[in-house]
Amino acid sequence: MVVFSRPLRWRSLVPLVLAAALTLPGVAHADPATPSWPKFEKSRTGMVKKLAEPVLNCVKKKDETAAESPIFHGCYDWHSAVHGHYALYATYLATHDKKYLDAAEKQMQPAGDPGVVARELKYMQDGSIGEDTADTPYGMAWLLEMERAREQATGTRTTRPLADEAVKQIKSWLTGGNAEQNLFYDMHSNLSWTLQTLAGWAQYTGDDALLSSVREDVSKYLKTDEADQRCAEVLPGELSGELEPKSDITENGFLAPCLMRLAAVAKAGGPGAAEWVSRRLPKDVSVSLLTDPRSAHSAGLNFSRANALWEIYQATRDSAVRNGFVKLVTAEVARPQDWDTTSDYLNSHWIAQFGIRAIDQTFAHPEQGRGR
Torsional sign, CA 256, 219, 189, 62? negative
The tens digit of pLDDT for each residue in 302-345 reads 999 999 999 999 999 999 999 999 999 999 999 999 999 999 99
Q: Tell the burial category of 364 from Cβ atoms under 10 Å away from its Cβ (0-12, 13-18, 19+).
A: exposed
- Tell me the pLDDT band of 201, cut-offs 50, 70 and 90: very high
Instruction: Tell whether 242 is covered by a domain.
Output: yes
Whether pLDDT at 65 is above 70: yes
Give residue 71's pLDDT.
94
Instruction: Tell whether 280 is covered by a domain.
Output: yes
The tens digit of pLDDT for each residue in 69-88 reads 999 999 999 999 999 999 99
Per mean pLDDT, which range of 32-36, 136-140, 338-342 is the poorest?
32-36
Whether pLDDT at 245 is above 70: no
The tens digit of pLDDT for each residue in 356-368 reads 999 999 998 766 5
**CATH number of the domain encompassing residue 329:** 1.50.10
Whether pLDDT at 38 is above 70: yes
What's the domain range around 245? 10-22+33-360
Instruction: Tell whether 371 is covered by a domain.
Output: no
- Tell me the pLDDT band of 249, cut-offs 50, 70 and 90: very low
Whether pLDDT at 94 is above 70: yes
- Whether residue 91 contacts residue 100, with contact meaning beta carbons closer than 8 Å, is answered with yes
Give residue 29's pLDDT.
40
Half-sphere exposure of 320 (CA within 13 A, CB side): 10
Give residue 177's pLDDT.
76
Q: Where are the alpha helices (DSSP H) in 206-300?
A: 208-217, 225-240, 257-268, 273-279
pLDDT (average), residues 254-278:
97
Of the chain, the percentage scoring pLDDT greater than 70 comes to 86
- Tell me the pLDDT band of 149, cut-offs 50, 70 and 90: very high
Whether pLDDT at 133 is above 70: no
Could you count the other beta carbons within 10 Å of the beta carbon of residue 63?
18
Instruction: Tell whether 368 is covered by a domain.
Output: no
Give residue 213's pLDDT.
98
- Tell me the pLDDT band of 293, cut-offs 50, 70 and 90: confident
pLDDT (average), residues 211-236:
96
Of the chain, the percentage scoring pLDDT greater than 90 comes to 74
Q: From 206, 205, 212, select the one nearest 270 (Cα to Cα).
A: 212
Whether pLDDT at 99 is above 90: yes
Q: Between 372 and 71, name the one with better pLDDT.
A: 71
Give residue 102's pLDDT.
96
Give residue 14's pLDDT.
41
Instruction: Tell whether 43 is covered by a domain.
Output: yes
Q: Residues near 226 by Cβ (< 8 Å), separated by ≥ 6?
A: 1, 3
Give residue 261's pLDDT.
98
Give residue 197's pLDDT.
98
The tens digit of pLDDT for each residue in 164-192 reads 999 999 999 999 878 889 999 999 999 99
Give residue 305's pLDDT.
97
- Tell me the pLDDT band of 370, cut-offs 50, 70 and 90: low
Q: If you average pLDDT over every residue of the chain, what do you get?
A: 88
Instruction: Tell whether 259 is covered by a domain.
Output: yes
Name the domain count of the chain: 1
Q: Which residues of 171-205 are buried (b: 16+ CB within 10 A; e: fewer)?
A: eebbeeeebeebbbbbbbbbbbbbbbbbbbbbbbb
Instruction: Tell whether 27 is covered by a domain.
Output: no
Whether pLDDT at 6 is above 70: no
Give residue 276's pLDDT.
98
Instruction: Tell whether 2 is covered by a domain.
Output: no
Give residue 113's pLDDT.
85
